[in-house]
């Protein structure tokens, strides 16, 4: 989500003060270390790797094989063709009385070798099968013979009841694209935004790069792709995130919202108790690998297909084929490992991620004070009611904050090198308190103000809600933690997520489970409290003591607070639900919902700025081992042709519609290429990193990585629709999240399809820019969606339905839905989880 800002801002050859330095390690040493890190990760989870590594076989299959060999031996048959006799000869001679024991050991060794060979064969076969991406290119409603064969083989080799990491050993490695293809695609992507003169100059630089440097850099990337788990992901984490010296707040972190129209309980402590209990249940399932691995079917509804499939909808032949294809393809689960017990530790030149195996407490912030709240009692998880009791004790605690304690967390919103220097002093003076915060399962902020949608001013209340989640007051979030759970005084929830450890779909998966579990499964009593009974034997939450006598720390906190407030106040957040149509209408048009929105965003941005710009859309590459993201460059020549036609009054609707379909098809092709490892930006990024290691100056690569993304976009996927009943309870769906703009004069736009008939947009920009206005772009997006929909006969009535301004529409919608959801939320039918 917020990665576009980091991708633009990374400078691997600069220190924080701008002094030029060179990367010290030779490139071969760096490639060696990348592979070493990969192997260390595998060894650190050896036992889990053993349990899941034999998948799709099981440990019981060894016993079955051993028993079959023993039975054959009893029947005087030798399935080993003499190998067991050879093994017996190699075993020590313990005397005649142990002859039978030697036979059993020989059979066990032979069974183990044969079992291991079969498992290895299964893994290799499955990896080869999963390397096939021809299914992505299949036309809608059709399936070629090779894809049918592939589908049948995948179903045979995939096994049943996989654990979270069962497929990790079988996932293919991300391929290194052809450098000629990458350069060609890059030139095609920048053509719409460059003048003829600038494009010709860029083309000259590209040809010079291909002639002089490309083959050498490509050779090193291919070497790394064979040795390390992924040729780009560890460098992406290292240089884009951990070496960035910018503040995390706004620039890197992102937020996720609660239900839009529903708050299950107005009691802050009760909502915190249920939510934290649900989060810890998720962690328990994660530790036991009981979370099923995410398969492509959950992304089919999000990123690729528009096949007319949905809850309560008839499954068409086209939809069946496409959902079946995607449902057989597992995604990488590596990013799930660091959701909990993880902190990003600041360093002077680079940060590092500190992950603990376990943590049995959370760190809580309320009214400038820090507390430690235990989450377990006698090795069992505290009940939601017991957790509510602990949080209520914190809310009732009248003790004031210590000097400088209230604003201490502003240091985590400071530039990273500044925070690293102060943390060194803080560690010597308040080591215990710092260890409690950084060693917590996650951070909890109990805000003293309410948040969320209000009837009185829906638009302003949603904007304030988004701003509170993204930046808060600058000193009430510990931005280093993997995520901060924010609980407002009226019971509204939200997340602030640090970006380096994983991407949005991972935290989104956790967040969906949390909202569904705390509302549908745990529930609340009639008076709004958590179900169950308090535990009076629990000790009081531990108040953390920060001994901060150092004047230098005081001044650093004050400086960090001023910087955080300036950064926070400069962000213009705007959130609006668009309810005139959603993905059900787009499906009826036989179009991809994501591509529909992306092309509409091009039209809206052109109307806002009067020009085209480089557009960043995040796409996942988790089809590959340890894959993260790739960029889809959505501003294509086809999209620009459509936008110009829409602004040309002489163009007819059929002409515009034909151009729109061409633009959608082009976007789909780019998205599929990105997902299958054939994107542009990660390859160019890795080439640039290798050139820096080799001290090669490449004007072409330097120009590529000096580009500014004035429009950064992302779709928030809804991955677990089975947890929600959107037809009976359409309001009980997360309203998505957002992130800061990637450029000082740009926009950050995210969107989520809420059910079938609503799209919620999250827009951000900088108030200091005279070129951007989040509310203005929101109006352009709404108009663009209506204009695009009116090109279709089925959508020509939307403009007639539209009444008044977006603010009036939001107020009407809020009042209507408030009447629908006024009943007790605990009486709902609970879907199975």
How far apart CA 244 and CA 252 sit, in angstroms, is 10
- C-alpha to C-alpha distance for 707 and 349, rounded to whole angstroms: 24
Q: Are 773 and 552 in contact (CB under 8 A)?
A: no
For the residues of 421-454, what is the DSSP string, one character each? HHHHHHHHHSHHHHHHHHTSSSEEEE-SS--S--
Three-state SS for 325? helix
Q: What span, in angstroms and rounded, lies between the C-alpha atoms of 785 and 795?
A: 10
> Which tokens hold the place of 730?
């359409």
Alpha-carbon distance 257 to 252, whole Å?
A: 17
- Cα 512 to Cα 221: distance, rounded to the nearest angstrom: 37
Type and span of the H or E element at 206: helix 196-212
Which residues are within 8 A (CB) of 212 and not within 5 positions of it... i.e. 6 or more apart? none
Q: Alpha carbon of 543 to those of 363, 409, 539: distances in Å?
A: 10, 16, 12
- List for the chain the helix, strand, coil content (%; round to 5): 50, 10, 40
Q: Which of 499, 509, 529, 605 is catalytic?
A: 499
Q: Which residues are within 8 A (CB) of 235 and not within 5 positions of it... i.e. 6 or more apart?
A: 34, 685, 686, 689
Tell me the three-class secondary structure of 70-118, residue by residue.
HHHHHCCCCCCCCHHHHHHHHCCCCCHHHHHHHHHHHHHHHHHHHHHHH
Pick from 147, 500, 96: nearest CA to 322: 147
Using DSSP, state whether 759 is helix, strand or coil: strand
Q: Give the distance, in angstroms, between the CA of residue 208 and the centroid of all CA atoms in the same chain.
A: 37
Q: CA nearest 274: which of 450, 530, 541? A: 530
Alpha helices in 496-636 (DSSP H): 504-516, 551-569, 583-588, 593-609
- Phi first, then psi: give them for residue 20, nearest 5 degrees: -70, 130
Place of tokens 């920048």: 190
Could you tell me the two tokens for 500?
């380096």
Phi-psi region of 528 (alpha: psi -120 to 50; beta: other; left: phi over 0): left
Number of residues that this document lists for the chain: 833
Nearest to 73 by CA among 89, 60, 88: 88
Question: Is 499 in the active site?
Answer: yes
What is the three-state SS of 543-563?
ECCCCCCCHHHHHHHHHHHHH
Euclidean distance between the first and the last CA atom of the chain, given in angstroms as a whole number: 27
Question: Around Cβ 200, how many Cβ atoms within 10 Å?
Answer: 11
Residues 327 and 295: beta-carbon distance below 8 Å: yes
Concatenated DSSP letters of 448-495:
SS--S--SS-HHHHHHHHHHHHHTTTSSSS-TTBSEEEEE-TTS-EEE
What number of CA atoms fall less than 13 Å from residue 829's CA on the CB side?
Answer: 6
Closest CA to 1 of 764, 540, 612, 624: 764
Angle between helices 681-693 and 214-227 (to 10 degrees): 100
- Report the C-alpha gap between 182 and 188 in whole angstroms: 10
676-713 as b/e: b if 16+ CB within 10 A: bbbbbbbbbbbbbbbbbbbeeebebbebbbeeebbbbb
For residue 753, list its beta bridge partners.
Answer: 759
Distance of CA 231 to the CA centre of its chain: 20
A 10 A CB-CB count for 727 gives 11
Residues acting as catalytic residues: 499
């Amino acid at each position: 989500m917020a990665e576009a800002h980091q991708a633009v801002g990374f400078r691997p050859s600069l220190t924080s003060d701008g002094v030029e330095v060179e990367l010290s390690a030779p490139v071969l040493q760096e490639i060696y270390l990348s592979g070493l890190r990969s192997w260390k990760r595998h060894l650190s989870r050896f036992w889990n790797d053993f349990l899941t590594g034999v998948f799709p076989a099981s440990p019981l299959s060894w016993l079955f094989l051993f028993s079959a060999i023993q039975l054959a031996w009893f029947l005087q048959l030798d399935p080993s063709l003499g190998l067991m006799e050879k093994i017996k000869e190699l075993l020590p001679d313990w005397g005649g009385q142990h002859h039978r024991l030697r036979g059993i050991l020989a059979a066990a060794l032979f069974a183990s070798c044969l079992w291991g060979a079969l498992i290895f064969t299964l893994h290799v076969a499955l990896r080869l099968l999963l390397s096939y991406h021809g299914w992505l290119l299949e036309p809608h409603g059709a399936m070629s013979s090779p894809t049918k064969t592939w589908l049948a083989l995948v179903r045979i080799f995939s096994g049943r009841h996989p654990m979270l990491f069962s497929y990790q050993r079988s996932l293919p490695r991300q391929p290194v694209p052809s450098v000629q293809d990458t350069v060609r695609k890059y030139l095609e992507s920048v053509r719409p935004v460059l003048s003829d003169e600038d494009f010709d100059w860029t083309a000259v630089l590209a040809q010079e790069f291909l002639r002089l440097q490309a083959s050498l850099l490509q050779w090193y990337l291919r070497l790394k792709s064979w040795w390390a788990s992924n040729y780009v992901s560890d460098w992406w984490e290292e240089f884009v995130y951990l070496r960035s010296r910018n503040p995390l707040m706004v620039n890197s972190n992102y937020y996720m919202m609660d239900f839009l129209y529903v708050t299950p309980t107005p009691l802050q402590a009760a909502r915190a108790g249920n939510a934290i209990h649900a989060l810890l249940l998720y962690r328990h399932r994660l530790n036991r690998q009981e979370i099923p691995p995410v398969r492509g079917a959950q992304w089919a509804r999000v990123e690729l297909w528009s096949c007319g499939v949905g809850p309560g909808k008839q499954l068409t032949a086209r939809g069946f084929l496409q959902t079946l294809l995607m449902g057989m393809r597992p995604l990488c689960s590596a990013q799930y490992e660091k959701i909990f017990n993880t902190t990003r530790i600041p360093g002077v030149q680079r940060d590092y991620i500190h992950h603990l195996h376990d943590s049995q407490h959370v760190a809580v912030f309320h009214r400038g004070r820090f507390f430690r709240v235990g989450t377990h009692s006698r090795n069992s998880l505290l009940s939601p009611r017991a957790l509510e009791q602990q949080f209520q004790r914190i809310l009732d605690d009248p003790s004031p904050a210590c000097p400088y304690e209230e604003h201490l967390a502003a240091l985590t919103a400071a530039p990273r090198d500044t925070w690293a220097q102060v943390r060194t002093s803080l560690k010597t003076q308040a080591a215990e308190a710092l260890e409690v915060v950084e060693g917590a399962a996650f951070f909890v902020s109990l805000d003293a103000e309410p948040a969320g949608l209000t009837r009185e001013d829906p638009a302003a209340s949603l904007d304030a809600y988004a701003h509170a989640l993204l930046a808060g007051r600058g000193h009430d979030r510990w931005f280093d933690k993997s995520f901060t759970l924010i609980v407002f005084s009226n019971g509204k929830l939200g997340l602030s997520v640090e970006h380096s450890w994983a991407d949005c779909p991972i935290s989104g998966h956790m967040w969906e489970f949390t909202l569904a579990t705390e509302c549908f499964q745990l529930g609340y009593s009639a008076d709004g409290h958590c179900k169950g009974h308090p535990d009076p034997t629990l000790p009081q939450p531990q108040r953390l003591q920060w001994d901060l006598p150092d004047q230098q720390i005081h001044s650093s906190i004050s400086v960090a607070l001023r910087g955080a407030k300036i950064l926070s106040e400069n962000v213009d957040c705007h959130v609006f639900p668009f309810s005139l149509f959603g993905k059900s209408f787009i499906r009826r048009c036989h179009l991809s919902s994501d591509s529909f929105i992306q092309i509409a965003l091009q039209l809206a941005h052109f109307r806002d700025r009067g020009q085209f710009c480089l557009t960043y859309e995040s796409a996942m590459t988790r089809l590959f081992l340890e894959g993260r993201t790739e960029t889809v460059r959505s501003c294509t020549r086809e999209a620009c042709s459509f936008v110009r036609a829409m602004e040309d009054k002489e163009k007819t609707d059929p002409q515009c519609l034909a151009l729109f379909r061409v633009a959608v098809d082009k976007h789909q092709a780019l998205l599929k290429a990105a997902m299958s490892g054939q994107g542009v930006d990660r390859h160019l990024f890795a080439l640039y990193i290798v050139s820096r290691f080799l001290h090669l100056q490449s004007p072409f690569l330097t120009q590529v990585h000096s580009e500014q993304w004035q429009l950064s976009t992302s779709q928030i996927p809804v991955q677990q629709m089975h947890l929600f009943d959107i037809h009976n309870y359409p309001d009980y769906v997360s309203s998505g999240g957002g992130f800061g703009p990637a450029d000082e004069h740009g926009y950050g736009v995210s969107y989520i399809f809420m059910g079938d008939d609503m799209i919620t947009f999250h827009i951000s920009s900088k108030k200091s820019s005279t070129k951007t206005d989040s509310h203005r772009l929101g109006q352009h997006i709404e108009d663009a969606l209506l204009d695009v929909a009116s090109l279709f006969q089925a959508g020509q009535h939307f403009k007639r339905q539209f009444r008044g301004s977006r603010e009036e529409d939001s107020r009407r919608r809020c009042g209507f839905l408030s009447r629908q959801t006024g009943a007790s939320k605990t009486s709902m039918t609970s879907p199975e989880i």
